[in-house]
Amino acid sequence: MAIKIFSIDTNYFATQLRLNSIVRILSHINMIKYSIFAALLIIALHSCNSKQGTCILEGELENAKETEYLYLGDIENREDLDSFLIKKGRFEYRFNLENPKQFLLHNSRMKYEARDMKQIWLEPTIVKLTGNAEFLGNLNVTGSKSHEEFSSFRMFIDSIENQIRLLQEEFARSGDPMRHVKTQALIDSLRNANHPNLNEYMRHHRDIFNTIEQNQIQSKIDSINNLVPSLIKAFLEDHLESYVALSILHNECYMNSRHLNKREIETIYKAFSTELKDTEEGKEILDYINLPSVPQIGDFAFDFAQQTPAGELVRLSDFKGSVLLVDFWASNCGPCRAKHKDIRNLYSKYHNQGFDILGVSGDTEKSSWVNAISEDSLTWTNVSDLKGWNNEAFLIYDVKMIPSMLLLNTEGKIIEKSIYWDQVKEQVESFFNSSGI
């Protein structure tokens, strides 16, 4: 593996210094015997060093303070793992690292993305950083093959996102200035006609008031979006032994910005090396692949069981017979908590008529979760397995964004899935103000 070669190169100079001392001691030994002995010793020392896995991060930064610290943080939870000192713009920092891994490099300010932080892939080798200490996001990274792979992938994704953003701006400028008025008039007329499912109708007629130019722009956006999955798949297939590819595929499983379907994810996963499959991320990809198909509107909800703050085990099926809102949220989600006031109002209005709520938290810290329940006055049942985004219910229902909501009828069948509160609220009101859904 390339990683072992990197580890040998990393410790080459230290090995040579140790051997120089041995040369002086063994100078009286027959040259042939010495050469054989030294060669064997080099192999032994290099073998030992290759198992240690050491990353040497070194560099020289312009406009650095006389002394200041930089920090290496975990890219997922933003927790600092270690720090190192820069003196007069120079630094050298060594730490144990067995395999390529992504980090967040940042300064003590950590306020502005371009100035104060940079996503960086490090390996068990010598990695050099150069650039301006006042703009960490623009630092040059050399020596890390993984970072080169990551950078090329990000450039591709960024170019796609920029194209779509520009087209979306053009789409907005090309709209009918009376669109909002016409849309509201249509909604009012459908309500007056007691349309059975207003939200569903509007979802299928979003383009009803588009201009001709907007439809042309939307076709361009759709064409770009349709091309992205095949390009991502091609990148992954070209990097089947890469930890960067492993990370990208893991994100396809667990992050909101998904491009590949489960069948495509499984095909790429099966082609990965055993080394990648045996990692924690590799095992989580397999867990995702083995999940059942995500239930959709019209399907019966899948049951799950999690604990309340008091430790009581509650099942989704316990609420059968009620109209149930399943609220996916977390204590650190501002929009989630902002919606709790509206949810409280709906709960107090319809709870006595058979409306109930089950809050499912994506928290990892129990204290944060419990405090949020108290602060937001959530009087309905709340559960969690404290696994964050890997919460079992989040995975079963493919929750990639919060707040996110499910609405079940009295039989336990899904009648709404949405990230939009108004859609869910309208469905609840429609149920209790009519003969049902």
Q: How many CB atoms lie within 10 A of CB 285?
A: 24
416, 327: one domain: yes
284, 155: one domain: yes
Q: Which two tokens stand for residue 46?
A: 């290099």
3-state secondary structure of 92: strand
Peptide bond before 295: cis, by omega within 30 degrees of 0?
A: no
| CA-closest candidate to residue 329, choices 361, 304, 306 | 361
In angstroms, what CA-CA distances link 56 with 32, 93, 128? Answer: 35, 6, 8
Q: How many CB atoms lie within 10 A of CB 405?
A: 24
104, 19: one domain: no
3-state secondary structure of 276: helix
Residue 121 burial (C-beta neighbours within 10 Å; 0-12, 13-18, 19+): buried
d(CA 296, CA 399): 12
Q: How many CB atoms lie within 10 A of CB 124?
A: 29
Q: Which two tokens stand for residue 88?
A: 């007069």
320, 236: one domain: no
Q: How many CB atoms lie within 10 A of CB 12?
A: 13
Give strand pairing partners of 85: 69
Residue 324 burial (C-beta neighbours within 10 Å; 0-12, 13-18, 19+): buried
279, 360: one domain: no
Q: Where is the domain boundary, 27, 52, 77?
A: 52
Q: Which two tokens stand for residue 7?
A: 């580890």
245, 354: one domain: no
Q: Where is the domain boundary, 261, 289, 317?
A: 289
127, 156: one domain: no
State the residue for tokens 């099926």.
Answer: 317
d(CA 383, CA 397): 15
pTM score, whole prediction? 0.70
d(CA 137, CA 106): 9
In a domain, 184, yes or no: no
Pseudo-torsion of CA 295, 301, 302, 306, nearest 10°? 120
248, 162: one domain: yes
Q: Specify the amino acid at residue 83.
A: S
| CA-closest candidate to residue 47, choices 92, 7, 87 | 7
157, 285: one domain: yes
| CA-closest candidate to residue 46, choices 23, 14, 92, 93 | 14
Phi, psi of 204 (to 5 degrees): -90, 0
Residue 172 φ/ψ region, left for φ over 0, alpha for ψ in the -120 to 50 degree band, beta for the rest: alpha
Cα-Cα end-to-end distance for the chain: 60
Q: Which two tokens stand for residue 323?
A: 């109209």
d(CA 182, CA 368): 45
Q: Where is the domain boundary, 289, 314, 334?
A: 289
d(CA 196, CA 421): 19
45, 68: one domain: no
Dihedral sign, Cα of residue 277, residue 399, residue 237, residue 242: negative
In a domain, 263, yes or no: yes
Domain count, the chain: 4
State the residue for tokens 């979802």.
Answer: 203
Per-residue pLDDT for the chain (437 aa), expressed as one digit of tens each? 333 222 333 333 333 434 444 444 444 434 444 444 444 444 444 433 434 599 999 999 999 999 999 999 988 767 899 999 999 999 999 999 999 999 999 999 888 888 999 999 999 999 999 999 999 999 999 999 999 999 999 998 899 989 999 999 999 999 888 888 888 888 888 888 877 667 667 767 778 888 999 999 999 999 998 999 999 999 999 999 999 999 999 999 887 677 898 899 999 999 999 999 999 999 999 999 998 888 999 999 999 999 999 999 999 999 999 999 999 999 999 999 999 999 999 999 999 999 999 999 999 999 999 999 999 999 999 999 999 888 999 999 989 889 999 999 999 999 999 888 888 888 898 888 864 44
Strands (E), 23-153: 54-62, 67-74, 80-87, 90-96, 101-106, 117-122, 126-132, 140-142
25, 58: one domain: no
In a domain, 194, yes or no: no
State the residue for tokens 């909604």.
Answer: 187
Q: What is the CATH number of the domain that holds 396?
A: 3.40.30.10
For residue 336, the enclosing domain spans 305-432
